[in-house]
Structure 1
Amino acid sequence: MLSHPHEVFLEVAQRLSFTKAGQALFISQSAVSKQVKALEEHYQTGLFERLGGSVLLTPAGQKLYQKLLQAKQLQQELQQEMSELSPGFAPAVHLFIGASTTISLYVLPPVVAAYLQQHPQHQLSLKNRNSDNILQALLEHEIELGIIEGIHKVSRVTYTPLLTDEVIAVCAAANPLAGRELATADLLSIPLALRETGSGTLAVLEEALAAQGIKLAALPVRVRLGGTEALKNFVRIETTCLAFLPRQAVLKELATGELKEVKIKDLSLFRQFNFIQRKGTENNGPYRDFLRFTQRYYSQKE
């Protein structure tokens, strides 16, 4: 088992912030500093360079960080193997998972609730960011399992399919576009509200438009908003803009009539939700089990 000071050091090294490490571990910044100082005294060398408000790993800190990542992986593998040999051995498990906004808000909550009900000894921390940021968090070992939209073709990452999702055009009920069917070329003259760069929702729209010879930059974008909820709330009250949102995210609003779907001929907007893992970690027991649990949960709903 990694010692508490080493666990604290790992958190600081991953976040490069004493404050954020304390928040993640639910301890004070002074407690974080105390644990790091104890390690520096033990190893008789500095582990972090403190430059104003920023923190960087020293060469010794970088070496310790890499070794501790390997040790943590071995610890997880040992716990998995001992659990298989001794059914009575059930250590507490803390899963660190990240998911893009749509998945975090609309896909994962019922799965997490069902999973934790079956595994009361487990804990789960969920990072909610756009797809690009979740991929980066995985590569930087902030999370051990991610779920994102699409495939980003990173050689160090494996992709496992979860769900197929549809992105649709919607507008406020009072918008003159409500109930109309548009041609793709009509988008060149309609005010749009879109997600921010790095969003999987935006990426699927850009790819579909490019297939029809239309560049995203040519569209009359009025506003870009970070997050599905922000975009949904904006388009509910803005009666001139059209927005593209995941169907999963607007099921309630479509049912109540607050939002109306706008059909666009010849524009097919489907994307795959995929699990992502660093190559070599696919058989990490708790994360493998959560992945399979999630797949089963949604396969039973089809």
Structure 2
Amino acid sequence: MLSHKHEIFLEVARLLSFTKASQTLFISQSAVSKQVKALEEHYKTGLFERFGNSVALTPAGRILYNKLLQAKQLQHELHQEIASVSENFSPRLHMVIGASTTISLYVIPPVVSAYLTRNPNILLSLKNRNSENILKALLDHEIDLGIIEGIHKVSNVTYTPLLTDDVVAVRSSRNPLKKNELEAKDLYDIPLALRESGSGTLAVLEEALAARHIRIADLPVRVRLGGTEALKNFVRVDTCLAFLPRQAVVKELASGELIEVKFRDLALVRRFNFIQRKGTENNLPYKDFVQFTKRYYSK
């Protein structure tokens, strides 16, 4: 069993911030500093180099961090094996994952509910940001598992496919556009409402248009909105055309509140992927969550 001091050290090392660690652990920053100092006195060496508001691991700190990650993995494996033979053994675990906006709103909630029902000893925190910022959170060690749209070609990140979803063009009944089938070149003459930079939905659209030699910058974009819900709520009452995940507009398309506009020459398909830092793919309980989610959506 890892000591309280070592658990605190792990959180500071993961986030490289005493302030952030105190927030996630729900203890004061002074208490965090006191426990780390006690470890440094125990090991007779510094574990962090301090640079104003930021910190970095010393060589000793890096050794301790890597060994504690291994110990934490063994601890979780031990807990799982003991739990398999002892019904009353149920240790508490805290998972921190991140997901892009669409995934957080429409894909992951039913999975999380089913997973927590099966694993009542787990507390799960979900960070909701666009794909680019979820990747950054992973690289900054704010999270240990992310789910994003597309692949961002980062060398120290592994990508595990989850599922695919269509991006569809939609308009409200107020939109004067009467044709419900267009070509990509028609976008030069249609007012658009799009997601913000860093959005996976926007990246899919940009890639498809680039294949047609069309740049977003050359189109009549009237507004950019952060978040799927914000864009959906805007286009429902406006005359702009928007591109949204099909999963986000299923109800509105069925009710007629939004109308799908098809494109003969654009294929807009998003691929959702798990992301993890290389070397952490087998860390539990995140490995279990990845496998559970893939099974859930393979049914």
Q: Would the aligned equivalents of 1:156 and 1:278 in 2 still touch at CA under 8 Å? A: yes
- How many residue pairs match? The answer is 295
Matched, 1:71 2:72: no
Alignment-mate amino acid for residue 221 of structure 2 = V
Alignment-mate amino acid for residue 231 of structure 2 = L
Q: Would the aligned equivalents of 2:15 and 2:140 in 1 still touch at CA under 8 Å? A: no
Residue deviations 1:20-62 (CA, integer Å, cap 9, x gap): 33332223444434444544555565835363xx3333x63x7
Match of 1:80 in 2: 77
Distance between the aligned counterparts of 1:192 and 1:63, measured in 2? Answer: 54
Distance between the aligned counterparts of 2:183 and 2:104, measured in 1? Answer: 32
Greater alpha carbon shift after TM alignment, 260-269 vs 200-209? 260-269
Match of 2:92 in 1: 92
Compared with structure 1, are the counterparts of its residues 35 and 189 closer, same or farther at alpha carbon in structure 2 (3 Å cutoff)?
farther
Distance between the aligned counterparts of 1:76 and 1:179, measured in 2? Answer: 57
Q: Would the aligned equivalents of 2:79 and 2:91 in 1 still touch at CA under 8 Å? A: no
**Identical aligned residues as a percent:** 66
**TM-score normalized by the length of structure 2:** 0.87
Match of 1:272 in 2: 271
| Unpaired runs of at least 5, structure 2 | none
Distance between the aligned counterparts of 1:67 and 1:36, measured in 2? Answer: 12
Greater alpha carbon shift after TM alignment, 114-123 vs 30-39? 30-39
Compared with structure 1, are the counterparts of its residues 268 and 120 closer, same or farther at alpha carbon in structure 2 (3 Å cutoff)?
same
Matched, 1:8 2:39: no
Distance between the aligned counterparts of 2:297 and 2:83, measured in 1? Answer: 31
Residue deviations 1:85-123 (CA, integer Å, cap 9, x gap): 762265322222111111111101111011111111111
DSSP 3-state at the match of 2:285:
helix
Alignment-mate amino acid for residue 132 of structure 1 = E
Compared with structure 1, are the counterparts of its residues 70 and 37 closer, same or farther at alpha carbon in structure 2 (3 Å cutoff)?
closer
Match of 1:23 in 2: 23
Distance between the aligned counterparts of 1:259 and 1:34, measured in 2? Answer: 57
Greater alpha carbon shift after TM alignment, 129-138 vs 263-272? 129-138
**TM-score normalized by the length of structure 1:** 0.86
DSSP 3-state at the match of 1:244:
strand
Distance between the aligned counterparts of 1:109 and 1:66, measured in 2? Answer: 37
Q: Would the aligned equivalents of 1:178 and 1:261 in 2 still touch at CA under 8 Å? A: no
Distance between the aligned counterparts of 1:140 and 1:234, measured in 2? Answer: 33
Greater alpha carbon shift after TM alignment, 84-93 vs 248-257? 84-93
Compared with structure 1, are the counterparts of its residues 44 and 145 closer, same or farther at alpha carbon in structure 2 (3 Å cutoff)?
closer
Alignment-mate amino acid for residue 206 of structure 1 = E
Distance between the aligned counterparts of 1:66 and 1:229, measured in 2? Answer: 44
Q: Would the aligned equivalents of 1:100 and 1:129 in 2 still touch at CA under 8 Å? A: yes
Residue deviations 1:260-294 (CA, integer Å, cap 9, x gap): 22212211100211112223322224222211211
Q: Would the aligned equivalents of 1:166 and 1:269 in 2 still touch at CA under 8 Å? A: yes
Matched, 1:159 2:156: no
Alignment-mate amino acid for residue 222 of structure 2 = R
Distance between the aligned counterparts of 1:260 and 1:106, measured in 2? Answer: 20
Distance between the aligned counterparts of 2:72 and 2:47, measured in 1? Answer: 26
Matched, 1:55 2:54: yes
Compared with structure 1, are the counterparts of its residues 124 and 139 closer, same or farther at alpha carbon in structure 2 (3 Å cutoff)?
same
| Unpaired runs of at least 5, structure 1 | none
DSSP 3-state at the match of 2:50:
strand
Compared with structure 1, are the counterparts of its residues 85 and 6 closer, same or farther at alpha carbon in structure 2 (3 Å cutoff)?
closer
Compared with structure 1, are the counterparts of its residues 224 and 175 closer, same or farther at alpha carbon in structure 2 (3 Å cutoff)?
same
Compared with structure 1, are the counterparts of its residues 108 and 40 closer, same or farther at alpha carbon in structure 2 (3 Å cutoff)?
same
Compared with structure 1, are the counterparts of its residues 6 and 290 closer, same or farther at alpha carbon in structure 2 (3 Å cutoff)?
same
Q: Would the aligned equivalents of 1:206 and 1:215 in 2 still touch at CA under 8 Å? A: yes
Distance between the aligned counterparts of 2:73 and 2:47, measured in 1? Answer: 28
Match of 2:283 in 1: 284
What is the Cα deviation at residue 177 of structure 1? 2.4
Match of 1:206 in 2: 206
